[in-house]
Amino acid sequence: MIEIIFFTIVFSISYFIMEFMAWFSHKYIMHGFLWKLHKDHHKKDHSSRFERNDLFFIFYAVVSISNIYAWSEYSFWAGLPIGTGIFAYGLSYFIVHDIFIHQRFKIFKKTNNKYAKGLRRAHKIHHKNINKNGGKCFGMLWVPLKYFR
């Protein structure tokens, strides 16, 4: 029972830290020194379904898998909840960002949900700026209240 509690706590902390990591890496890395990988997400310059920006997903997948591997091979007890927390956030990000907001896969239709509309509105504001500097709203799941009005 205590293992389930610890797993749940570490998993939840990992998941919520990833929202901060997404904001931080988006603002300071993607719109910083790795803008070359991210800029095709703001202004598509190719015909591929994939973007150079997708490499960021691969980075976090490697971090997630590495933690699960450390749990499995080296008995790092926190590796499983950390790795699955990162994976769960990545899955949430993929569903919200790529499927719901950008409609890379046509699954979700229009919605009247206030939270969903706020997410889309904030992301639309972020994409109004197609340049490296001057962007707003770098987070994903945590959106400022002004976008819900």
Q: What is the pLDDT of residues 19-61, one digit of tens each?
A: 999 999 988 998 899 999 888 888 777 777 788 888 999 999 9
For residues 54-81, average pLDDT: 95
Higher-confidence residue: 40 or 79? 79
Residue with tokens 């889309």: 120
pLDDT of 106:
73
Cα separation, 44 vs 127, in Å, equals: 12
Higher-confidence residue: 26 or 67? 67
Q: Where are the domains of the chain?
A: 2-109
First to last CA, the chain: 43
Q: What is the pLDDT of residues 1-27, one digit of tens each?
A: 889 999 999 999 999 999 999 999 988
Collect all residues with Cβ–Cβ distance below 8 Å to 127 and sequence separation of at least 6: 42
Greatest mean pLDDT among 52-56, 72-76, 139-143: 72-76
Q: What is the pLDDT of residues 83-135, one digit of tens each?
A: 999 999 999 988 888 888 777 777 777 778 888 888 888 878 787 777 777 77
Strand, helix or coil for residue 75: coil
Whether the Cβ atoms of residue 37 and residue 25 lie closer than 8 Å to each other: no
Cα separation, 79 vs 17, in Å, equals: 15
Percent of the chain with pLDDT over 70: 99
The letter for the amino acid at 111 is: T
Cα separation, 22 vs 130, in Å, equals: 19
